[in-house]
Amino acid sequence: AQTVTQSQPEMSVQEAETVTLSCTYDTSESDYYLFWYKQPPSRQMILVIRQEAYKQQNATENRFSVNFQKAAKSFSLKISDSQLGDAAMYFCAYRRENFGNEKLTFGTGTRLTIIP
């Protein structure tokens, strides 16, 4: 079974600084997707960034980028120029590629605090 591990329950960063959230996963599959979701106090799950395992290039979305190390099964999220609105729970998630829809497996989350 696939597992996703987030070893940092809490992180904090000064506003405008850079922070990296860690995620490791375990799978025997070769084709899959990895995601980072943000969950603010409103509870809404917001997709931050997505990475296809077959792509060597790391995904980037504005201030958010990932460091995807397939051999190490590592998928960290870097947030640059942190803003107060980035404060939230961040969840790493895995999804197997199965020619269609598949369930997501989530990590336990990292609570990110932004220090003004």
Alpha-carbon torsion (7, 66, 19, 110), positive or negative: negative
Alpha carbon separation from 113 to 3, 11, 40, 97 (Å, rounded): 25, 6, 11, 33
Least separation in angstroms between CB 61 and other proteins = 13
Comparison of 13 and 23: residue with beta carbon closer to other proteins: 23
Sequence-separated (6 or more) residues with CB below 8 Å from residue 98: none
Among 42, 56, 57, 62, binds other proteins (CB under 8 A): 42
Among 20, 27, 45, 73, binds other proteins (CB under 8 A): 45
Comparison of 80 and 104: residue with beta carbon closer to other proteins: 104
Least separation in angstroms between CB 77 and other proteins = 15
Rg (CA), the chain: 14
Give 33's strand partners.
Answer: 52, 95
Q: Which residues sit at the interface with other proteins, rule CB under 8 A?
A: 4, 6, 33, 42-45, 47, 50, 52, 91, 95, 99-101, 103-109
